[in-house]
Amino acid sequence: MIIGYNKGLKKTMRQVELVAQTDSTALILGETGAGKEIIARHIHMNSARANNSFIRVNCGAIPSDLIDSELFGHEKGSFTGATSLKKGWFERAHGGTLFLDEVGELSLAAQVRLLRVLQEGTLCRVGGEKEINVDVRIVAATHRNLEEAAKNGGFREDLWFRINVFPITLPSLRHRPEDIRELTEYFAQKASVKLGLPLTLPSQSQINYLMQYHWPGNVRELQVIIERAAILGQGSHLAIEESLIIKPELLSSVARSQLTDIVQQEASPISLDDVIRQHITKTLIYCHGRIEGPFGAAKRLDLNPNTLRSKIHKLGITKFNDV
C-alpha cells in the first residue's frame, strides 16, 4: 500500500521516509490496530533491503518456553521434539527486515538475549556452540509506554535505549479521518482479490458515514468492516451501513457535537409521539425498510419485531417498505 500524505499522517510519513533510507532501528508507537505493521512494511519496501525478506514476529504470541527456538533457532536433538535443525526468525530475515511486533510483551529473560543479538550481530542456536553472524534490520512496535515500563522495571532500560533510535508515533484512526477514504479503498481492493468478487468502491455518503465513527479498533477494525461489507454486497456494492451500525456512544467527537447542535437548534418543542415517529421512520429508512433480522430496524432499536410493528401502526408510519 502506498500511504498518502493526508494531514493526519503527514508528519509521521516524513519520519518514515527519513528512516527508510537508513539502516537504523525504528520503533513504531501506537494503539493496537493503528496500522503499525503497514508502516513497518512501508519502511522495508522503501529501504535498500526491499528485495530481501520482511518477517513479522508477534512477540506477545510466542510462549516463553519457545521464544529462544523461534527467534534464534535450534540444533537437532537440542531438546525433546527437536528432530531437525531449525533456523530462527533472525536467520530467516538475514539481509532483510525483522519486524518485532508488540516487543514490550517479551519476558525479561528474552529481552536479555535479544539485546545481545542486537549489540553483537551474532547468535547461537539453542543447543549449538557456533556463533552465527546475522545481518538484520530491526523494526519494533508496541502499544505500551516502554519508557515508563523501563522506569518501573518491566522492560530493560538498555534494550529500550537500543531500539529507541528512531521512534515514530502513529496516530489512531480517529485522529486522522482524512485517511479513511484511502484506507477504505485499499481494503476494498484487498477484499475483492481475497473473496474473488468484482471490485466495488465506497460512495461519498459512505465515507461520510465512516467518518462519524470513533474507531476504537483503529485501522484493523476498518479492514474487518470493509471485508464484511464486501461479503454482504456480493460484488454489487459495499454494504457498509449494514456492516457498521454506529451506536450513539461510538460517534466521533465531531459527529456528537453536530448532533448536539441540531438538538439545540430545534425551533420549538415537539410532542413525544412526534419524536418517536421521526426516530422510527429514520431508522426504517436507514435499514431499507427491514424490520426483522440482524440488520433490521427492530434489532437497531432494541425492540421485539412485533412491538415495532405495533408502534408503526399506532403512529401511522407508512413511508417505508417492510422487507
The whole model's pTM is what?
Answer: 0.69
For the segment 23-59, what is each residue's pLDDT rounded down to a tens digit? Answer: 999 999 999 888 899 899 999 999 999 999 999 999 9
Q: Check whether residue 196 and residue 303 sit in a common domain.
A: no
All three cell numbers of 307, joined, read 412491538
In a domain, 74, yes or no: yes
- Residue 299: pLDDT above 90? no
Span 119-139, mean pLDDT? 89
Q: Check whether residue 20 and residue 144 sit in a common domain.
A: yes
For the chain, the domain total comes to 3
**DSSP β-bridge partners for residue 213:** 251
In a domain, 2, yes or no: no
| C-beta neighbour count of 63 within 10 angstroms | 8
Span 62-70, mean pLDDT? 83
- Residue 143: pLDDT above 60? yes
**Helix or strand or coil: residue 22?**
coil
Q: Check whether residue 183 and residue 308 sit in a common domain.
A: no
In a domain, 1, yes or no: no
Q: Check whether residue 164 and residue 177 sit in a common domain.
A: no
* Residues in Cβ contact with 153 at an 8 Å cutoff, skipping those fewer than 6 apart: none
pLDDT of residue 75: 81
For the segment 251-260, what is each residue's pLDDT rounded down to a tens digit? Answer: 676 666 655 5
**61-65, 162-166, 219-223, 310-314: segment of lowest average pLDDT:** 61-65
**Helix or strand or coil: residue 163?**
helix
Q: Check whether residue 31 and residue 115 sit in a common domain.
A: yes
Boundary-marking domain end, from 265, 282, 304 = 265
pLDDT of residue 99: 96
All three cell numbers of 257, joined, read 457535537
Q: Check whether residue 112 and residue 160 sit in a common domain.
A: yes
- Residue 262: pLDDT above 80? no
Q: Check whether residue 88 and residue 221 sit in a common domain.
A: no
In a domain, 127, yes or no: yes
In a domain, 41, yes or no: yes
Span 167-184, mean pLDDT? 89
Q: Which domain holds residue 239?
A: 173-265
Q: Check whether residue 11 and residue 48 sit in a common domain.
A: yes
Percentage with pLDDT > 90 across the chain? 42
- Residue 11: pLDDT above 50? yes
CA angle 149, 153, 158 (to 5 degrees): 85
Q: Check whether residue 28 and residue 132 sit in a common domain.
A: yes
pLDDT of residue 314: 86
Span 111-133, mean pLDDT? 88
Q: Check whether residue 127 and residue 65 sit in a common domain.
A: yes
Q: Check whether residue 255 and residue 270 sit in a common domain.
A: no
In a domain, 238, yes or no: yes
Q: Which band of pLDDT confidence, cut at 50, 70 and 90, is reported for residue 179?
A: confident
Sign of CA dihedral 83, 84, 85, 88: negative
Boundary-marking domain end, from 223, 247, 265 = 265
Higher-confidence residue: 266 or 251? 251
What angle do the packed helices 36-45 and 10-20 form, to 10 degrees? Answer: 40
In a domain, 250, yes or no: yes
- Residue 306: pLDDT above 50? yes
Q: Check whether residue 21 and residue 113 sit in a common domain.
A: yes
